[in-house]
Amino acid sequence: MPASGGKPGLLTNPVWLWPLVVLVPYVIGSFLEGSLSPWPPESFALVAAHSTIWAAAVAAVSTIVVDFWLFWTTATALIAFTVPMATIYQPIPKEMHKYYHLANIVAGAFVVGKALLTAH
């Protein structure tokens, strides 16, 4: 939200989180199923082999977005939004924030590793 308390901007509006609610689980499921790869160029090639160039581009961009969420964005969002919500509970000490990223990286590596071990 803007500092003035006005309406959120077009690109920062919370409504953009709804596509992620569908996109992230779908793409992770596609990783684990073997129909998409965690590596964007390979996802592009897998989709381009049986569909249009636009579908392949969407697959590559979706893979990039999900890779960011698997390895970085989840921890960053958690850190950003736990402090404002600290009126309900005690905030987690700042010394612990580095472990958010570590847990995010470990969980992302687990999903990507499992996906890479799945035969394509």
Q: Which of 19-33, 43-57, 77-91, 95-109 has the highest mean pLDDT?
A: 43-57
Q: Which two tokens stand for residue 35?
A: 């129909």
The answer for residues whose C-beta is within 8 angstroms of residue 31's C-beta and 6 or more apart is: 37, 38, 66, 111, 112, 114, 115, 118
pTM for the structure as a whole: 0.76
List pLDDT tens digits, range 88-103: 667 777 788 888 889 9
Task: Please check whether residue 26 is in contact with residue 20, taking contact to mean a CB–CB distance below 8 angstroms.
Answer: no
What pLDDT shows up at residue 51?
94
Q: Which two tokens stand for residue 57?
A: 């581009």
Q: Calculate the average pLDDT of the chain.
A: 83
Q: Which two tokens stand for residue 70?
A: 């698997």
What pLDDT shows up at residue 47?
96
What pLDDT shows up at residue 120?
57
What pLDDT shows up at residue 85?
58
- Enumerate the domain spans of the chain: 19-114
Say which residue, 49 or 98, is predicted with more confidence: 49
